[in-house]
Amino acid sequence: MTLLQKKTESNRNDRDNAEKDLRLNVWTFLFVVIGFVASWVNMTFIQDAPRSIEVLAFLSIIFTTMIPGIIIALVNRYWGYGYLIGFAIAGIPFLIIVDLFIGGYTFATTLFIFIILWLIFWKAWRSLSSIRTGSLEEGHLQ
């Protein structure tokens, strides 16, 4: 094996080890429940909103998913994913039981935001972990 092949294999192993941190623990499921409750409260707020602020009420879904989702994901990305999944899942029973449009809008919007944030965090996490492990091997960072 050449030096380049050894280094490539070592980087691949380090990256694989860095990605093995998927731990669905109690906190992840707790954030699913928190997201579900936050979503239900937000959907009832949208339903009860006066006509004059109805557009702002619908935009509140974006703020109540992205801001807490990003803050939680900065601590632990799987907790952030749990929050967003719980938020999205709450739209399904709401659309069946209460209001078709509000529940469907919440589900679709949150799912879309989840996919965007997942791609950003997943790509950034992998990129940062490969830079970190690659730099440590080369001795650039102490």
- How many domains does the chain divide into? 1
Domain that holds residue 118: 26-138
List alpha helices for the chain, DSSP H.
Answer: 3-18, 26-48, 54-75, 77-89, 91-97, 100-138
Domain assignment present for 21: no
Which two tokens mark 18? 């860095």
In angstroms, rounded to a whole number, what is the distance separating the alpha carbons of residues 133 and 5?
Answer: 16
The residue that leads in pLDDT, 82 or 139, is 82
Domain assignment present for 96: yes
pLDDT of the residue at 47: 92
pLDDT of the residue at 106: 92
Say which DSSP state 98 is in: T
- Mean pLDDT for the chain? 79
Residue 105 confidence (pLDDT) above 70? yes
In angstroms, rounded to a whole number, what is the distance separating the alpha carbons of residues 95 and 7?
Answer: 53
Q: Are 120 and 68 in contact (CB under 8 A)?
A: no
Say which DSSP state 20 is in: T
Which two tokens mark 85? 């999944």
pLDDT of the residue at 74: 83
Domain assignment present for 93: yes
Residue 142 confidence (pLDDT) above 50? no
Instruction: Work out the percent of the chain whose per-residue pLDDT is above 70.
Output: 69
Q: pTM for the complete prediction? A: 0.70
Instruction: Work out the percent of the chain whose per-residue pLDDT is above 90.
Output: 34
Domain assignment present for 67: yes
Domain assignment present for 9: no
pLDDT of the residue at 27: 86
Domain assignment present for 80: yes
